[in-house]
Every structure is written in C-alpha cells, then in structure tokens.
Amino acid sequence: MFLSSFKNAIGLILSGDTATYQAIALSIKVGFIATVIAAIIGLPIALMLSTKRFRGRALLVTIFNAFMGLPSVVVGLLGYGLLSHRGILGMLNLLFTPYAIIMGDIMLGIPTMVAIAESSLSDYHDKINETVKTLSLSKLDGNILLIKESIYGIMGALSACFGRIFEEVGAAMMLGGNIMGITRTMTTAIALETTKGEFDRGVALGMILLSISISVNIALQWFKKR
C-alpha cells in the first residue's frame, strides 16, 4: 500500500494539483510569518531573562520551558474563545482566516523560542559580562556581543520554533476551519485526506512537508557554519 501510494503521490505532485499546491503555499506563508513574529517577540524576552536577575525569574523560565510542550489543541481552544463572536476579539472577524492560524502559531512558537534561546544566552552571559566590564562596554554593546556569541543556539531556537509552528495541526484546524483554498494547510489537509481515504494525497503532502522541514534545517545548519 505504501509503495503504491508513494508512486501515486509522486504523480500527484508532478501533475501540479491545485488543491495540493494551495495548501503548500499557505503553510509556507503562515509558517514563515508566524516564526518571524515569534522570534521578534521571543528573543528580547529570552535576552531579558538571561541578563537580568529579579524575583520570579526562575518561575518564568520554568513556565516557558513547560509551555514548549503545550498541546496545539489547547492553543486552538484558547484562540477560538478569543476570536469567536462571543470572545473579546470577536469584532475583528479573524476566526477561520489565515490570520487566526498565524495568531495560534505565534502562541505556540514563542515559548519554544524563549526557552531555547534563553538557555543558550545564559550559557555565555557570565563570560560576556566579564568582557563587558573589562572593556567598559555599554549595555547595548554587551547585548549585541552576547547575541553574536550565542548565535548558534539562537539559530537552533529559530529552527525549533519553525518546526513547532510548521508541523502543528490542532490550532490550524480549530482556528482556520480547514477551508479549501483559504485556510487549508498541509497538516490539516493530510488529516482530512487520510480520513477520507485519499491516502495518496496525504502521502504527497507528507512528503512535501517533510522535505520543507529538512530543507529549512539544512539551510540553518549551513548558516551556522558560515
């Protein structure tokens, strides 16, 4: 069955099937935007947690680490409550749109970005702090130096954040509604097509999903070596 489906999936990909490529395009668009926003929000938080010592810091770090494993359906449930007509953001009419999926994915990506980046930044903080004092560098210069020294760890956090966002299905299903051509991503399409018995299409999307994830990680590894 797998061999037959693999062969048919290759043909489906090469045929330029519209529904398949719509799901691919939306997944890439949503995943990229959500990852960038999660990084923009998460990195400053990670930097603050790694450079400042204050009451409750350890608790915050623990919470972000715990939320790395937050089920996507829980995020979908929370987002649905906020964006439904009875929710506090209901007037925005974002539910069952790509924007709702992006919102849910950002909520999933931020804890991963913060937790991994904070761990890497903290590992270098003490060493960098001594250099900053010795050279009498400003706080901004010290933070820039810390980020440069921790860049491999930060890139790892970015990679993990993208993987968490790109491969989730629960939040995308609940917030997007899996509407063909509008909010159907690769993961939600795989779930739907498989339950419909369209195993070939599910395999085709799964192959592309895996290929994109591997390609992004290879690109990040190449960047780290550069």
Q: What is the pLDDT of residues 110-148, one digit of tens each?
A: 999 999 999 999 888 878 877 777 777 778 888 888 888
Q: What are phi and psi of 209, to 5 degrees?
A: -60, -45
The CATH H-level (homologous superfamily) assignment of domain 22-196 is: MetI-like (1.10.3720.10)
Q: What is the mean pLDDT of residues 38-55?
A: 93
- Domain locations in the chain? 22-196
Q: What is the mean pLDDT of residues 153-177?
A: 92
pLDDT tens digits along 141-159: 888 888 888 888 898 899 8
Q: What is the mean pLDDT of residues 46-68?
A: 92
- Closest to 173 (Cα-Cα) out of 79, 88, 85, 44: 79
- Provide the pLDDT for residue 184: 93
CA 69, 219, 16, 102 torsion: positive or negative? positive
Helices (H) and strands (E) in the chain, counts: 10, 0
Q: What is the mean pLDDT of residues 195-202?
A: 83
Tell me the whole-structure pTM to 2 decimals. Answer: 0.89
